[in-house]
């Protein structure tokens, strides 16, 4: 009898230690998702926006870059993701099965991101090649981290309540990361794209590496079963595992449609906002709505799922987000009834983001439960193999999204129009980086000469030829990537002069010299001795916005229709299909999961045995 009591005490002590460790794992694992999602948003969502508004490329160059990333990225993922999953599944490091890959992926991914947004020594086709190479390196390094991270999640607990708790917390912090990442970009880049993306990339890489270090060092992996320790997985075995798991296949299709549909609004939101409202950083508050809705929906998810069940919750969340998309589709066509502004966009965005968050969280839990389904059906957990399909699906959706975005921007004419802003942004960066007042003054005078040609010429085509000739004949100016077709947009920008004493800015001495087209060259003074001057260009400020003058004010009905279709009607169709697939084909509800776990726990070689 005493032996029985002692055994019960040992079991209780063991369970108490397990719960304590799980509590620690839950927080350190989920917090790690903040930096990961910040970095993912920067590349997957904003890379094309950075190129569109911060780099001067022709339509052919932009389209080539995007299509190679989209098509080539998908083909590379089809090879890269399963290989990485097989490598992780066969890993037997003392430090763990997942953690070495999580940390190595984060470190190498950080180096790639810093290069992608800070190296600008190439132009034109050379820049296109550089970005394509960087993108494929990002795909490879992020995959290493991504598969390791998400494969670790189902291994941390198979208990239903614990699984729901850690998944909910992980998605909450991933949502926080997405919110912070998007917020940083939209708050820091309009009007200063090149420098803004450079600074944002540094902040995000620090967050990525810091968060993943916390996860890698702090989380204790669950001990593997005897058979898992001895197992080696081949690509053939991996293929058979995936092929035999019908539930993960249906979930992969559903989540691909969801990721593509939900991602289009974010990917094109800034073009939509800039063309309807204007080029500014106030859309940051739309991102705040996204963040608040995501966090609140996550906090209430467990109560809602417990009361309604995942299937019914998904139905209600689907209707909620579809209503929000329909509202955004109608904004602005009848200004007196439904005007398009930040307030109305945010109201319907609230429905979109709340519905999406609840639907996504239920879907992630469904997808994670496919690991136990695999163990139930095939006798093996194979977390890394089953979890490989989630990052593959996400990145494949992002690649297809690139294609859709490029098609819309190209066909609608929005990309060509946006090159006015791109030229302004790139020239602002060039002027800021000229390190001497004489060189800045000469640059400003040359640009004024080009602007004056456009102002005085009766024929725009002839003016473009004259400007092109003037640029080609000046070796100094050829380095600034000045496309003659868009130089005229600089006329609407303003030039400012700042007084410096011993190289330091003097307070309250920044002078507005006026628009480039009206600039008095006599105001372009250099200074001498300890007093010098520094010049800057601004796209927007009090009572002026050069970007709007050359973008929003030239929009057409066709442009508005194309982008509205891409961010509302197309997502409505994709998200509806995603919901219907899970409703009709996914069978692992709460009762089915309990039945599986009862069967698995009665087997001799269960996890931890």
Which CATH number belongs to the domain containing residue 21 in this structure? 1.20.1250.20
Q: Which residues lie below 8 Å from residue 199, measured CB to CB, with a gap of 6+?
A: 188
CA-based radius of gyration for the chain:
27
Residue 498 is assigned to a structural domain of this protein = yes
Residue 202 buriedness (CB in 10 A; 0-12 / 13-18 / 19+): middle
How many whole angstroms separate alpha carbon 560 and alpha carbon 126? 32
- pLDDT of 606: 56
Tokens representing 452 are 């004056």
CA 28 – CA 370 distance, rounded (Å): 24
Look at phi and psi of residue 279 and say left if phi exceeds 0, alpha if psi is from -120 to 50, else beta.
beta
Residue 79's pLDDT band, with cuts at 50, 70 and 90, is confident
The Cα–Cα gap between 124 and 127 comes to: 5
Residues 385 and 245 grouped into a single domain: yes
Q: What is the CB neighbour count within 10 angstroms for residue 6?
A: 10
Percent of the chain with pLDDT strictly greater than 70:
93
Residue 609 belongs to some domain of the structure? no
More confident residue, 166 or 89: 166
Residues 467 and 323 in one domain: no
Task: Give 59-71 pLDDT, tens digit per residue.
Answer: 999 999 998 988 7
Mean pLDDT over 90-95 rounds to 70
Least confident segment among 188-192, 296-300, 351-355, 584-588: 296-300
Residue from 425, 416, 413 nearest 547 by CA: 425
Total domains in the chain come to 2
Structure tokens at 184: 């940083």
pLDDT score for 20: 84
Q: What are phi and psi of 603, to 5 degrees?
A: -85, 150
Task: Retrieve residue 402's tokens.
Answer: 């690139």
Q: Is residue 322 part of a domain?
A: yes
Work out the burial of residue 388: count CB atoms within 10 Å of its CB; fewer than 13 is exposed, 13-18 middle, 19 or more buried. Answer: buried
Non-local CB neighbours of 343 within 8 Å, separated by 6+ positions: none
Residue 273 lies in a domain: yes
In which band, very low, low, confident or very high, does the pLDDT at 109 lie, cut at 50, 70 and 90?
Answer: very high
Structure tokens of 368?
Answer: 């994670």
Model confidence, pTM: 0.83
Q: What is the pLDDT of residue 13?
A: 66
Question: Per residue in 153-162, pLDDT tens?
Answer: 877 887 877 8
Full 3-state SS string of 107-138: HHHHHHHHHHHHCCCCCHHHHHHHHHHHHHHH
Does residue 431 belong to any structural domain of this protein?
no
**Residues 512 and 367 grouped into a single domain:** no
560, 505: one domain = no
Among 77-86, 476-485, 542-551, the range scoring the smallest mean pLDDT is 77-86
Assess if residue 387 is contained within a domain: yes
| Range name among 375-379, 491-495, 570-574 with the lowest pLDDT average | 375-379
C-alpha 198/C-alpha 272 separation (Å) is 24
Taking the C-alpha atoms of residue 555 and residue 547, their distance in angstroms, rounded to an integer, is 12
| pLDDT at residue 341, rounded to an integer | 92
Domain contains 226: no
Q: Are 552 and 333 in contact (CB under 8 A)?
A: no
DSSP symbol at 70:
I
Residue located via tokens 């850690």 = 166
Q: Where are the alpha helices (DSSP H) in 482-588?
A: 546-550, 557-564, 570-585
Q: Which domain covers residue 68, as residue numbers?
A: 2-220+233-419+556-601
For residue range 218-267, list pLDDT tens digits in order.
898 876 555 555 555 666 777 777 788 899 999 999 999 999 999 998 88
Say whether both 568 and 526 belong to one domain.
no
- What is the Cα–Cα distance from 407 to 415, expressed in whole angstroms? 10
Residue 608 pLDDT > 50: no
Alpha-carbon gap, residue 50 to 178, rounded angstroms:
17
pLDDT per residue as tens digits for the range 17-57: 878 888 888 899 999 999 999 999 999 889 999 999 999 89
CB atoms within 10 A of CB 366: 24
**CA atoms of 445 and 465, how far apart (whole Å):** 19
Q: What is the mean pLDDT of residues 101-130?
A: 95
Instruction: Let me know whether 464 and 325 are in one domain.
Output: no
Residue 182 pLDDT exceeds 80: yes
**DSSP 8-state code for residue 609:** -
The confidence score (pLDDT) of residue 283 equals 79
DSSP character string of 318-364: HHHHHHHHHHHHHTTTSTTTS--SHHHHHHHHHHHHHHHHHHHHHHH
Both 566 and 545 in one domain: the answer is no
Q: How far is CA 413 from CA 62, 147, 480, in A?
A: 13, 38, 25
Q: pLDDT tens, 285-331?
A: 877 777 788 778 878 888 898 899 899 999 999 999 999 999 999 99
For residues 543 and 413, state if they share a domain. no
Count Cβ atoms below 10 Å from residue 292 Cβ, excluding itself: 14
Q: What is the pLDDT of residue 187?
A: 87
Q: Looking at the domain assignment, is residue 537 inside a domain?
A: yes
Choose the weakest-confidence range: 52-61, 128-137, 157-166, 206-215: 157-166
Q: Over range 464-481, report the average pLDDT.
A: 92
- My answer on whether 463 and 397 are in the same domain is no
Q: What is the per-residue DSSP string for 443-481?
A: HHHHHHHHHHHHHH-S-HHHHHHHHHHHHHT-TTGGGG-
Decide which of 115 and 223 is more confident. 115
User: What percent of the chain has pLDDT above 90?
Assistant: 55
The reply to whether 184 and 308 lie within a common domain is yes
Task: Provide the pLDDT for residue 426.
Answer: 93
User: 544: exposed, middle or buried (C-beta count within 10 Å: 0-12, 13-18, 19+)?
Assistant: middle
**pLDDT > 50? residue 607:** no
Kindly state whether residues 477 and 385 are assigned to the same domain: no
**Confidence at residue 274, expressed as pLDDT on a 0 to 100 scale:** 93
Position 559 confidence tier, pLDDT thresholds 50, 70, 90: very high
Mean pLDDT of the chain: 88
Measured between alpha carbons, how far is 106 from 143 in angstroms, rounded to an integer?
10
Q: How far apart are CA 29 and CA 214, in angstroms?
A: 8
Taking only the tens place, the pLDDT of each residue in 501-541 is: 998 999 999 999 999 989 999 999 998 889 999 999 999 98
Nearest-angstrom CA–CA distance, 31 and 174:
8
Residue matched to tokens 């950075």: 50
pLDDT at 448 over 80: yes
Distance CA(164)–CA(386), nearest Å, equals 18
Q: How far apart (Å, rounded) are the C-alpha atoms in residues 583 and 136? A: 35
- CA–CA dist 537, 550 (Å, integer): 16
Do 58 and 180 belong together in one domain?
yes
Residue 181 has pLDDT above 80, yes or no: yes
């Amino acid at each position: 009898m005493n032996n029985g009591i002692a055994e019960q005490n040992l079991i209780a002590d063991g369970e108490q230690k397990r719960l304590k460790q799980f509590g620690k794992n839950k927080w350190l694992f989920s917090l790690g998702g903040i930096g990961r999602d910040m970095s993912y948003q920067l590349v997957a969502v904003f890379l094309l926006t950075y190129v569109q508004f911060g780099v001067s490329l022709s339509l052919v160059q932009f389209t080539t870059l995007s299509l190679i990333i989209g098509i080539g990225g998908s083909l590379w993922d089809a090879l890269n993701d399963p290989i990485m999953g097989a490598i992780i599944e066969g890993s037997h490091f003392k430090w763990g099965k997942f953690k070495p890959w999580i940390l190595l992926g984060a470190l190498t991914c950080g180096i790639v991101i810093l290069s992608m947004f800070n190296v600008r020594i190439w132009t034109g086709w050379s820049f296109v090649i550089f970005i394509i190479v960087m993108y494929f390196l990002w795909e490879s390094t992020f995959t290493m981290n991504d598969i390791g991270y998400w494969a670790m999640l189902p291994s941390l607990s198979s208990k239903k309540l614990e699984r729901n708790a850690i998944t909910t917390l992980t998605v909450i912090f991933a949502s926080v990361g997405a919110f912070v990442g998007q917020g940083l970009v939209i708050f820091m880049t309009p009007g200063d794209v090149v420098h803004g993306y450079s600074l944002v990339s540094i902040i995000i890489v620090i967050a990525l590496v810091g968060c993943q270090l916390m996860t890698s060092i702090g989380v204790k992996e669950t001990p593997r079963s005897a058979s898992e320790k001895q197992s080696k997985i081949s690509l053939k075995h991996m293929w058979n595992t995936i092929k035999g798991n019908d539930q993960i296949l249906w979930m992969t299709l559903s989540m691909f449609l969801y990721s593509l549909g939900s991602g289009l609004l974010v990917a094109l939101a800034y073009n939509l906002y800039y063309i309807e409202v204007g080029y500014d950083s106030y859309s940051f508050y739309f991102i705040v709505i996204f963040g608040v809705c995501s966090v609140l929906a996550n906090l209430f998810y467990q109560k809602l799922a417990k009361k309604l069940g995942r299937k019914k919750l998904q139905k209600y969340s689907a209707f909620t987000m579809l209503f929000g998309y329909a509202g955004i589709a109608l904004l602005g066509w009848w200004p007196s009834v439904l005007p398009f502004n930040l307030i109305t966009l945010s109201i319907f965005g609230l429905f979109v983001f709340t519905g999406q968050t609840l639907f996504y969280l239920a879907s992630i839990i469904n997808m994670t439960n496919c690991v136990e389904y695999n163990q139930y059906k095939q006798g093996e957990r194979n977390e890394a193999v089953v979890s490989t399909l989630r990052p593959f699906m996400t990145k494949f959706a992002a690649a297809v999204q690139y294609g859709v975005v490029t098609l819309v921007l190209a066909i609608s004419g929005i990309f060509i129009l946006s090159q006015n802003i791109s030229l302004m942004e790139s020239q602002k960066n060039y002027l800021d980086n000229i390190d001497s007042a004489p060189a800045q003054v000469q640059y400003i005078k040359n640009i004024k000469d080009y602007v004056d040609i456009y102002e005085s010429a009766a024929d725009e085509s002839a003016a473009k030829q004259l400007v092109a000739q003037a640029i080609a004949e000046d070796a100094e100016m050829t380095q600034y990537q000045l496309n003659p077709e868009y130089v005229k947009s600089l006329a609407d920008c303003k030039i400012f002069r700042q007084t410096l004493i011993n190289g330091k800015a003097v307070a309250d001495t920044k002078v507005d010299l006026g628009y480039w087209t009206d600039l008095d060259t006599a105001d372009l003074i250099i200074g001498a001795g300890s007093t010098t001057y520094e010049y800057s260009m601004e796209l927007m400020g009090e009572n002026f916005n050069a970007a709007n003058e050359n973008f929003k004010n030239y929009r057409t009905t066709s442009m508005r229709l194309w982008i509205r279709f891409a961010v509302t009607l197309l997502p409505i169709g994709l998200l509806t299909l995603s919901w219907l697939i899970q409703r009709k084909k996914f069978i692992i509800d709460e009762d089915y999961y309990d039945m599986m776990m009862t069967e698995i726990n009665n087997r001799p070689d269960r996890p931890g045995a």
